[in-house]
Amino acid sequence: MFYRFLFPQHFRGRGVSLLILALRLFFGVMFFIHGLDKMMNFSVLVDNYPSVFGFGSYMTLMLSIFCEFCCSMFLIAGLMIRIVVLPTIAAMAVAFFDIHDGFLPEGELSLIYLCVFVLLYLVGPGRYSLDYLIDYRFTQRTKGNNK
């Protein structure tokens, strides 16, 4: 059951998979750029970065960089999508509801990211992803062992 959740067989049509690929690439690259900007300006941001849930500015900034920089690389590659979007969903939910108090237009970008990441969590990585290749290899290997 867990395997089917990570590597779903539905939503694998060519058109849908191209759309999912476009979403992953566009939003993954945009999210990566946000994380890279935070990494490059770490020393400037660390003193004034908002502290969330009592973690302190330093730890909150480190978690933001992890979500935006590291998770976005997995998102772009289509590797472990259903796992790596969970921290990004949490980060964008905190950004929208806690940092921006759920107000628009201040929290508009975090709300857009939140919606896209929830969508990607629900539909999975699509055909054009490393997850699909892993699933394909695994199913081919298990079919070969059953003969």
pTM above 0.75, yes or no: yes
pLDDT digits (tens, 9 = 90+) for 12-39: 678 888 999 999 999 999 999 999 999 9
The alpha carbon of 66 is separated from its chain's Cα centroid by a whole number of angstroms, namely 11
Host domain of residue 69: 11-146
3-state secondary structure (DSSP) of residue 147: coil
Q: How many domains does the chain have?
A: 1
Three-state DSSP class for residue 1? coil
Q: Per the domain annotation, does 45 fall within a domain?
A: yes
3-state secondary structure string across 3-54: HHHHCCCCCCCHHHHHHHHHHHHHHHHHHHHHHHHHHHCHHHHCCCCCCCCC
Residue 5 in any domain: the answer is: no
DSSP string, 78-138: TSSHHHHHHHHHHHHHHIIIIISTT-TTTTHHHHHHHHHHHHHHHH-S-SSSHHHHHHHHH
Task: Give the pLDDT confidence of 44-96 residue by residue, as tens digits.
Answer: 999 999 999 889 999 999 999 999 999 999 999 999 999 999 999 999 999 99
Structure tokens given for 140: 């081919």
Residue 6 lies in a domain: no
What are the tokens at 64?
A: 């933001």
Does residue 97 sit within a domain? yes
Residue 1 within a domain? no
Domain presence at residue 2? no
* Cβ–Cβ under 8 Å, residues 59 and 45: no
